Amino acid sequence: MSGQTNIPRRAVLTAMATASAALAAGAARAQTTDQARPTPGQGKVALVTGSSRGIGAATAKRLARDGYAVTVNCEKNRDLAAGVVRDIEAAGGSAVWVQADVSDPSAVLRLFEENERAFGGVDVVVSNAGIMRLAPFSNMADADFSRMVDVNQKGSFYVLREAARRVRDGGRIIALSSSITQLRSPTYGPYAATKAAQDLFANVLAKELEGRMISVNAMAPGVVNTTLFTDGKTPEQIAGFAARTPHKRIGEPSDIADVIAALCSGDGAWINGQTVFANGGIV
């Protein structure tokens, strides 16, 4: 005797019919869900600091494409910020730009107030504004160290504090960290320290916002093709970074914007209090 059980043929046919009906219903449901799924940002508002260029500009445009009304921010480059708004509007989105230095807490307050005046509230805050000054410890100027702490660490704190007070339930808060916290290369010490602060900010803030369905994360890019990274580097040095990356290229701002958009979508809700590394595998 084999181990086969003797199941009546009619029962097998019924089970097969039931299974295929269930599969068809599942497929139809999935199709309906995909068709009916609204764009993630429909009716929602995003504020992205430092979005006149680089990763912030790509993020502002990507979130606008996902349906968010977007507040764009710059420190100095008003023309670039206005250009990002023009691009968003030309693509059918809504945006305003606000010049505000994030290292000034009263300017950060004004940034959020102007966002509220334009769009009535905020659902997503991306604390992205940042600067990088590189030097070995023995050569780091006081002014460069102070400005990095003022913009990257204090500035992001002021932005996250306001986000904690204002982001609506179910929202997202993202702070830009960096994979340099793992690479730890010479000359990057003070900059890396200001970025490591973002990992701690996000983890603790996620816990403080318990019960509000707001997910807070740090986003840690690797090397990305923006002036923050390329300024002061030779083409050979940049090629060297590309060679160290398994995909054999450095990141583009859109690579990071895509991951931020995923974190902001409903599918990203369960990622909370984490540092998300998006670096093409360089670390």
Q: List the catalytic residues.
A: 191
Amino acid code (one letter) for 218? A
Angle (CA) 277-245-134 rounded to 5° is: 75
Q: Is residue 263 near ligand NAP by the rule CB under 6 A?
A: no
Q: Is residue 77 near ligand NAP by the rule CB under 6 A?
A: yes
Pick 187 or 269: Cβ nearer ligand NAP: 187
Q: Is residue 265 near ligand NAP by the rule CB under 6 A?
A: no
Position among 48, 64, 103, 257 found at the interface with ligand NAP (CB under 6 A): 103
Q: Is residue 226 near ligand NAP by the rule CB under 6 A?
A: yes
Q: Is residue 280 near ligand NAP by the rule CB under 6 A?
A: no
Contact at 8 Å (CB) between 152 and 104? Answer: no
Position among 115, 128, 153, 217 found at the interface with ligand NAP (CB under 6 A): 128
Contact at 8 Å (CB) between 257 and 61? Answer: yes
Residues in CB range of 280: below 8 A, 6 or more apart = 222, 245, 246, 247, 249, 250, 251, 255
203-222 positions binding ligand NAP, by CB under 6 A: 221
Angle (CA) 53-58-60 rounded to 5° is: 95
Residues in CB range of 201: below 8 A, 6 or more apart = 156, 157, 160, 175, 218
149-168 positions binding ligand NAP, by CB under 6 A: 151, 155
Position among 66, 75, 114, 162 found at the interface with ligand NAP (CB under 6 A): 75
Position among 45, 46, 47, 55 found at the interface with ligand NAP (CB under 6 A): 55
| Shortest distance (Å) from residue 171 CB to ligand NAP | 20
| Shortest distance (Å) from residue 50 CB to ligand NAP | 3
99 vs 52: CA distance, rounded Å: 10
Amino acid code (one letter) for 91? A
208 vs 254: CA distance, rounded Å: 30
Pick 55 or 173: Cβ nearer ligand NAP: 55
186 vs 218: CA distance, rounded Å: 23
Most distant CA pair in the chain: distance in Å? Answer: 86
Q: Is residue 181 near ligand NAP by the rule CB under 6 A?
A: no
Q: Are strands 167-176 and 45-48 parallel, antiparallel or unpaired?
A: unpaired
Pick 40 or 222: Cβ nearer ligand NAP: 222
| Shortest distance (Å) from residue 227 CB to ligand NAP | 5
33-52 positions binding ligand NAP, by CB under 6 A: 49-52
Positions in the binding site for ligand NAP (CB under 6 A): 49-56, 73-77, 80, 101-103, 128-131, 151, 155, 176, 178, 221, 223-224, 226-229
